[in-house]
Amino acid sequence: MGPSMDDNRPIFVQIAERIEDDIIEGTLLEEAQAPSTTHIAAFYRINPATAAKGVNLLVDEGILYKKRGIGMFVATGARQIAVNKRKEQFYEQYIITMIREAQRLGITTDQLKEMIQKGESN
């Protein structure tokens, strides 16, 4: 099938994330027109209703908005909303997981800080 989707999570969530990625990376600018659900469905080879659900998720979050009869557009301030959302996820996905693994291996907080600094200088 199309560009691969991960089996573990609903496709509409993954669609919303890919659009957010484009907004965060600047390939999709604020006030630019977002891809239509038909295009998304064809590109990712998914059901159009699923694509629409992903787009609507972003509308609910204020990232996209609808211009009647034209289509979906990226809202002003959308990038900041998406970045904030990702920062929260970053904390959950990486920081919490990292701390848990560090505790398992007996790495102290100071050692962890050192490792982060080492990683940054690389």
Interface residues toward another protein, by CB under 8 A? 1-2, 5-12, 37-38, 41-42, 44-50, 53, 100, 104
Q: How far apart are the C-alpha atoms of 17 and 84, rounded to whole Å?
A: 13
For the bound state, the minimum distance from the C-beta of residue 47 to another protein, rounded and expressed in Å, comes to 5
84-100 as b/e: b if 16+ CB within 10 A: ebeeeeeeeeeeeeeee
Q: Residue 54's closest CA among 2, 9, 4?
A: 9
User: Residue 73: helix, strand or coil by DSSP?
Assistant: strand
Q: Residue 31 or residue 101: which is nearer to another protein going by CB?
A: 101
Closest separation in Å from C-beta 85 to another protein: 19
Strand ranges (E), the chain: 64-67, 71-74
Provide, rounded to whole angstroms, the least separation between the CB of residue 31 and another protein: 26
- Please, which residue, 38 or 117, has the CB nearer to another protein? 38
Between 29 and 99, name the residue whose CB sits nearer to another protein: 99
- CB of 29 or CB of 49, closer to another protein: 49
